[in-house]
Structure 1
C-alpha cells in the first residue's frame, strides 16, 4: 500500500472506530508499518485540516470526527506542480499566508515519491519580480471574506496619506500588484487601492451592504481583466 492509499485508509479506520480510539501501535500493526510512520501520517492528516486528535494514557489513542473524510485529490505530478506554482505567485498578495497553508496541505496528501518529485520540479521554476516593494497586508484578505466595512490608512501615488472607510468588493491582481476594489465612502464611489500602499487596516463590526461593481468603473490601466476561475 502506498502512502496516499494509507492516508485514506487511516481516515476510514478512525471513522469506523469513532467515537472510540485507536492507538498508534494498533494502527501500525494493522497497516504493516512502524509506529513512527503512522504518527508521521497522522500529523500530515492533521496539518491537512482533518479533525484528528489524540488522548494520552493507557486507554488513549487517536480519534476523529466521524463525519470527516478525506476527499480524493488524485493530483498528478503535473497538476501538483501547477498548484505549487500558482500558490507561489501569491507571495506578495494578501492571500500569501493562506497560500502557504494550502501548499502544505497539498503536499501532505501526495504520495512520498510524487511529493519529492514535485518539490524538485518546483525548485526549477523561478518568479521574476521587481523586488523592493512591500507586500499587501494580509489583513486585506479578511476584508473580503469577512464581509465587513474596513478602515485603512492609504498613501496614494503622490505620497499623500488619507484615512479611508471602504466596503470591500473584490480584488484585481497584476503580477506583484494587488488592488483592493472597494466602495470608498470618502470619494463616494468605487476605487482600486494598491495593496503595497495600504499602511494600516482595521476591520469593523459593520456589515458591508451589497453592491455590484462593473469593470468599467475600475481605473486600472493596461491589460484585460479575467476571472480567476475562467477557462
Structure 2
C-alpha cells in the first residue's frame, strides 16, 4: 500500500472506530508498518487540516471527528482531472488559495480507484509561475470578505500612482486571469474595482461594513455583464 492510499485508509479506520480512540500500536499492526510511520502519517493528516487528535492516559489513542471528514468520494477520471486543473488555476495569488490547497488535500485523501491515478498523473504535468500578490494582502482581503469588515488599502493604479482608500468589500471578480476586489470606496464615494496585485498594503479593521449588492456596484462599468461562474451555482443555491 502506497502512502497516499494508507493516509486515506487511516482516516477511514479512525472514522469507523469514532468516537472511540485507536492506539498507534493497533494502527501499526493493522497496516503492517512501524509505529513511527503511523505517527508520521497522523502528523501529516493533522497538518493538512484533517480533524484527527490524540488523547493521552488510560484508554487514549487517536480519534477523528466524523462530522468534519469526507466519506469516500467516487469521482470519474475526467472529474478528478477537472478538479486538478481547477485547483491549479487557483494559484497562490488567488483569494482563499491556502484554504483551497487544504481542501484539495482532504478531497485527494478521500478519492478512490482510477480517479486517484488520473489526478496524480495530471498533477505531475502542471506547473505555474510564482504569484505576484503579497500573501499579507491576500490574507487581509480574505478576512475582510469573510468577516464583512471595512478594509484600509494602499493602491497603485495602472500608471503607478498610489492612493490610500477605505473600502467596504462586496465581492470578488475574476477576469483574464486577474482578480479584483469589488467594494464601495469611501474615498471616492462610489463602487470601485481594485486589482489584487496592485494593492500594496491592506489593513483589516474591526468595523462592520454595510452590505452591498455586487451587481449594483458593477452596474455601468465594463464588468456590468459579469455572471456567477456556472461551477459555483450549486454552492450558491445550496440550502
TM-score normalised to structure 2 length: 0.76
Distance 1:13 1:71, change over 3 A: same
Larger mean CA deviation between 64-73 and 149-158 belongs to 64-73
Q: Give the drift of 1:211.
A: 1.8
TM-score normalised to structure 1 length: 0.78
Counterpart contact for 1:53–1:62, Cα < 8 Å: yes
Distance 1:183 1:146, change over 3 A: same
Residue in structure 2 matched with residue 12 of structure 1 by the alignment: 16
Q: Give the drift of 1:89.
A: 0.8
Number of aligned residues: 222
Instruction: Give the structure with the higher percent helix.
Output: 2
Distance 1:14 1:198, change over 3 A: same
Deviation track 1:118-165 (CA, whole Å, cap 9, x = no partner) reads 2222233466xxx79722632222221121000010111222111100
Runs (5+) with no aligned partner, structure 2: 235-239
Distance 1:68 1:144, change over 3 A: closer
Residue in structure 1 matched with residue 23 of structure 2 by the alignment: 23
Residue 98 in 1 paired to residue 87 in 2? Answer: no
Counterpart contact for 2:77–2:115, Cα < 8 Å: yes
Q: How does 1:56-205 map to 2 (within 5 A)?
A: 60-65=60-65, 68-91=68-91, 92-111=93-112, 114-125=115-126, 134-135=132-133, 137-139=137-139, 140-205=141-206
Q: Give the drift of 1:206.
A: 0.2
Counterpart contact for 1:166–1:185, Cα < 8 Å: yes
Q: Which has the higher contact order (CA 8 A, sep 6+)?
A: 1
CA RMSD of aligned residues (A): 3.2
